[in-house]
Every structure is written in structure tokens, then in C-alpha cells.
Structure 1
Amino acid sequence: MLRLVGLGKSYPGFRLLASLEVSPGQTLALLGPSGSGKSTLLRLVAGLEMPEAGQVWLDETEITLLAPEARRVGFVFQDYALFPHLTVWENIAFGLREARWDGARIRERVAFLLELTHLEPHAQKRPDQLSGGERQRVALARALANQPRLLLLDEPLGALDLKLRQELLLELRAILQQIRVPTIVVTHDQSEAFVIAAQVALLRGGSIVQQGSPERLFRQPRNYWVASFLGHRNLFTAQQSRQLGLPAQPHLLPQEAIMLGQGEEALVRERIFKGFVVALELAWRGQRLYLEGPEQGLYPGDTTRIRVDWSKVVALEEEPENGQAQIRQPLAGPAAKNHS
């Protein structure tokens, strides 16, 4: 188990302060916008930077001040940092030779990792002869070679194109589930975090704003900023909520709470074809509603009817005074003059 207790690091205009746990065999994703402190936190855990406060515990051992090589932590860098002059086999074996493993153990361990990462056909190739996905798998195999007690992945799929990321995401998830090493994955991609991790910690400005399972985080966001960052569109400020007959605090209206075809009249303002789904933006009660789903045959200027299941509305905490949430303006009404 990894435990971070009040881990702190400051830079001009920025301060990171975090406490969290990663259980044995669990994968935790650090999710957040650029500059939120994700990679800094990873480097503190790896020992590549020293904290100004707090502690790092791995099982029952405090490793806060240990050198990186003494921590038995595997690290996959965003650019993979492979040795260009070594073959795949030699890249994976490099750390084992440095650790003075005997030849038979090295061969056995490298063979296992080549099989685990489906790299057997590429064992004698150099990195410049590999695809981006293959290089990513070599970096992962090398990080796992010395049987680390903790694995750290910094944007492991970030250098790949979209199609390849989608292909490798489930493969990476399967490998992590098989090896059962506690893992922290840094990403700015919500879908990657939700697929790969059992727990997600959402960072903003150096602080963990909310942590939980992907489903709980998505369905029960704590505040307006969290809901907006996770991609929710039907968000209402306290004033807008009051105009809708809700308590005077921010609210989220989930997609599943909105049913087309019955209820109050709504005007279609926008239609966006997205392949498997069609997105509609509706004008309703002076507000914007966003829906995605199967083709409904509705186009801008058409009217439809919607019914809202108010029992599914999610109440959100108020943003702090210095919060940076972006408020979506209503289409009409007094709220337009009071929010910016």
C-alpha cells in the first residue's frame, strides 16, 4: 500500500498539498487539467523531487527521503526514455543487470515480460524499429522488470494517436490487473482514467478536489467545477436553479433525467451529428439543455416536448469565492444580467 500524508511542494504561484492512499493491487488515476500538479505528485513519489512537507509510505516503510533507486518504484515516462542503442530485450534487462541479477534469472524474467506485453516477435529490434504502441509496451516491461513495489505511469498513452490509444487502453488495463502492483497513472483524459483505474483523484490547483470510483465521481460530482471538468453540460448556478424551482444552490441535471416526447415544449436550437449519437441543444424554460442519443429526426427550429425526472437532479456544493468555474449563460431571463 502507498500512503501520502500531507505531501507538499511549492513553486512560484503554485503549491501542491496532497494526502491519498493506493491499496495493494489497485490502480489510481490522477486526473486534472494541465498545471494541476499531477506530474509533480508523481515525481515526489518516485523520489525525483524532494517534498517540502509530508511523508511517503510504502507498506510499513517511510521512503520520503530515499533515493529513487532505493525505492523499488517502476516509472514509465511520457516519452518512454528508452535506450536507443539497445534492443528491446536489452532495454528490459538493463535494470536487472544493474541490480546484479544472475543470467538465468534475467533470461527468465525478460521472457515473462516479453510474453506479458506481447513483444516476443520484437525482442531483437531497437526502439527506432518499433511503432509508438510497441515502444510504450517496452517502457512498461522495463518498469516492471525489477519487480517494483509500486508502478508510476506519466501520461502512458499521451504520445499515441487516438486510434492507437483506444487499442492499447484495454490492453494496458488487462496487464495492470494481471500484475497486481499498486499503480498511479497520470492523465488529463477522463475516458482513460475511467477505463484504467478503480479509483480516480481529481486535482485542481495542487489540491485533490474529489476522489472516488469512476462511476461515483461521474454521477456524484462535488461541485460545479468538478461536474464541468468531467463533461457534464446541463449545469445551473444557484440563481438559475432558483428560477427552475430548485433550492438556491448549483445543480446538475443528468442526461438520464431528461425524456423526450412528452411534457413541456422545447425548441431545438442546434443539432450535431457525432456518428453513433446525435447531440441536440434545446431551449427550455429560458435555459439551454444538452442531450445526446439516437437520431430523433429533430432539426434546428423544430419543437419537441421534454419531461424532467426531478428526483435525479444532483445538488452541488457552492464554488469558493476564488473558484474558476465557467458559468454557462441562460438563453434569456434575468440570470443573464447577474452572471459572468
Structure 2
Amino acid sequence: MLRIVGLGKSYPGFKLSVSLEVGPGQTLALLGPSGSGKSTLLRLVAGLEIPEAGQVWLDEAELTLLAPEARRVGLVFQDYALFPHMSVWENIAFGLREARWEAYRMRERVAFLLELTHLGPHAHKRPDQLSGGERQRVALARALANNPRLLLLDEPLGALDLKLRQELLLELRAILRQIGVPTIVVTHDQSEAFAIAQQVALLKEGIVVQLGSPEQLFRQPKNPWVASFLGHRNLLSAEQSRQMGLPARPHLLPQEAITLGVGEEAVVRERVFKGFVVALELVWRGLGLYLEGPEQGLYPGDTTQIRVDWSRVVALEEEPTGRRDTINPLA
């Protein structure tokens, strides 16, 4: 188990302070906007930066003061950092040669990783002869070569186009499940974090705002900022909630709480075709609502009906500061 206890680092205008745990074989995603401290936290755990406070523990061993090479941590960066003059086989074997593995053990380990990452047919190619997805697999295989006790991935799919990212998401998830090593994945992509990780830590301005499973975060966001960051659009301020007969605190109207076609009158403000779904912006009771779903044949200016199941509305906490990042963006 990885334990991060009060780990701190400061820069002008920024302060990181984080405590987290990653269980054996578990994948934790660090999710948050740019500048929230995700990569800084990863570099502190890897030993690439020195913390000002706190400790990093792996099982019963403290890593805080150890050099990066003494931590047995596997690292994969966004640019992969492969050796361009080496073949795939040589890139994977590089760390094993440095660690003076016996030749037969090294061959067995590389063969296993080539099979794990589906790189066998490419073993003798150089990185410039590979696709982006293949280079990503080489970087992962190299990080796993020396049997790391911990795996750290910094935007591992960030350099790939959308189609390739989608293809590799489930493959990367399967590999992480198979190797059973505690893993931290840094990403700014919510769908990537939800697909890969069992737990997600949402960071904002150097602190963990909310931690939980993907389902917990999405269905029970802590406050309006979390809900908005995760893509929820139908947010009510405390005053709007009061006007709707709810307690005077922020609330989320999740999509599943809203039924289209029955109930009170609503007017279509905007329609956006998004391929598999159509997005509608509607005005209802003077509020703006956002809905995505199958084509309904509704266009701006049309009238429809809306019914809200108030039992499915989610109560949110007030923001910890006076600043409100989002309040019902369609109002």
C-alpha cells in the first residue's frame, strides 16, 4: 500500500498539501484542472522533487528521503522518453541491463512484457517506426521491466489522438489490473480517469477536494465546483433552490431527475447536434436546463413539457470560499 501523509510543496502563488492512500493493486487517478498540483504530486512521490513537509510510505518502508533510483518506481511520462537509437527490445531491457540481470532472466522478462503489451511483432523496430499507441506500450513495458513496487503514469495517453486514446483506454486498464501494482495516473481527462481507476482524487489549487470511486464522484459531487468540473450543468444556487421549494443551499438536478415530454411547460432555447445524442437548452420556471439524449424533434422556439423528480435532486455543500465558480450556467 502507498501512503502519502501531509505531503507539501510550495511555489509562488501555489501550495500543495495532500494525504492519500493507494491500496495493493489499486489504480488511483489524479484529476483536476491545469495548475492543480497533479504532476507536482507525482514528481514528489517519484523522488524527482523534494517535499517541504510530509512523508511517502510504501508498505512499511518510508521513501521520502530515498533517491528516485532507490524507490523501485516505474515512470511513464507523456512524451514517453524512449531511446530513439534502440529497438523496442533494447528499450525494454535497458533498466534490466543497468541492474545487471542475468541474460536468461532478462530475456524471459522482456518476452513476458512484449506479450503483455502486444509488442512481439515490433520487438526489433526503433521508436520512429512505431505508431503513437505502440510507443506508449513500449514506455509502459519499460516502466514495468524491473518489477516496480509502484507505477506512476503522467498523462500516459495525452499525446495520442482521440480515436487512439479510446482504443487504448480499456487495454491500459486491463494491463494495470493484471500487473497488480499500486498505480497513480495523472490526467485532465475525466473519461480517462473514470475508465482506468478504481478511485479518483479531484485536486484543486493543491488540495484534494473530493476522493471516491468514479460513480461516487459523479453521482454525489461535494459542491458546485466539483459538479461543474465533472460536467454537470443543471446547478441551482441557494436562492434558486429556495424558490423551487428546496432547502436554501446549492443543489444539482441530475439528468436522470428530469423527464422530457410530460409535466410543466418549457421552451427550447437551443439545440446542438452531438452525434449519438442531441443537447437541448430549455427555459423552465425561469431557469435554464440542459439535457442530452435521443433526438426529440425539438428546435429553438418549440414548446415541450418538463417533470422533475425532486427525490433525485442532490444537495451540495457551499463553496469553502466566497467565490462561486458556477451557478446554473443556463439561467
TM (norm. structure 2) is 0.99
Are 2:308 and 1:312 aligned?
no
**Inter-partner Cα distance in structure 1 for 2:50 and 2:82:** 25
**Inter-partner Cα distance in structure 2 for 1:132 and 1:271:** 36
Q: SS of the counterpart of 1:202?
A: strand
Identity of aligned residues (%): 84
Q: CA deviation at 1:315?
A: 0.4
Return closer, same or farther for 1:245/1:159 CA change in 2, 3 Å cut-off: same
**Inter-partner Cα distance in structure 2 for 1:171 and 1:323:** 40
**Inter-partner Cα distance in structure 1 for 2:85 and 2:186:** 28
Residue in 2 aligned with 1:48?
A: 48
Are 2:187 and 1:187 aligned?
yes
**Inter-partner Cα distance in structure 1 for 2:297 and 2:96:** 61
Does 318-327 or 180-189 show the bigger shift? 318-327
Residue in 1 aligned with 2:288?
A: 288
* Alignment-mate amino acid for residue 278 of structure 2: V
**Inter-partner Cα distance in structure 2 for 1:29 and 1:14:** 21
**Inter-partner Cα distance in structure 2 for 1:224 and 1:262:** 28
Residue in 2 aligned with 1:275?
A: 275
Gaps of 5+ in 1: 332-340
**Inter-partner Cα distance in structure 2 for 1:40 and 1:161:** 25
2:27–2:185 contact (8 Å) kept in structure 1: yes
Residue in 1 aligned with 2:146?
A: 146
Q: CA deviation at 1:330?
A: 5.9
Q: CA deviation at 1:323?
A: 3.6
TM (norm. structure 1) is 0.96
1:286–1:330 contact (8 Å) kept in structure 2: no
Q: CA deviation at 1:329?
A: 5.1
2:234–2:329 contact (8 Å) kept in structure 1: no
For the aligned residues, what is the CA RMSD?
0.9
Matching of residues 18-97 of structure 1 within 5 Å: 18-97=18-97
**Inter-partner Cα distance in structure 2 for 1:307 and 1:148:** 53
**Inter-partner Cα distance in structure 2 for 1:128 and 1:322:** 51
* Alignment-mate amino acid for residue 313 of structure 1: V
**Inter-partner Cα distance in structure 1 for 2:75 and 2:237:** 42
**Number of matched residues?**
331
1:266–1:303 contact (8 Å) kept in structure 2: yes
**Inter-partner Cα distance in structure 2 for 1:327 and 1:312:** 19
1:249–1:317 contact (8 Å) kept in structure 2: yes
How far does the alpha carbon of each residue in 1:141-184 deviate from its partner, in whole angstroms, 9 at most, with x for none? 00000000000000000000000000011110010011111100
State the 4+ residue runs in structure 1 displaced beyond 6 angstroms.
none
Residue in 2 aligned with 1:117?
A: 117
Q: CA deviation at 1:245?
A: 1.4
Matching of residues 76-225 of structure 1 within 5 Å: 76-225=76-225
2:279–2:292 contact (8 Å) kept in structure 1: yes
Gaps of 5+ in 2: none
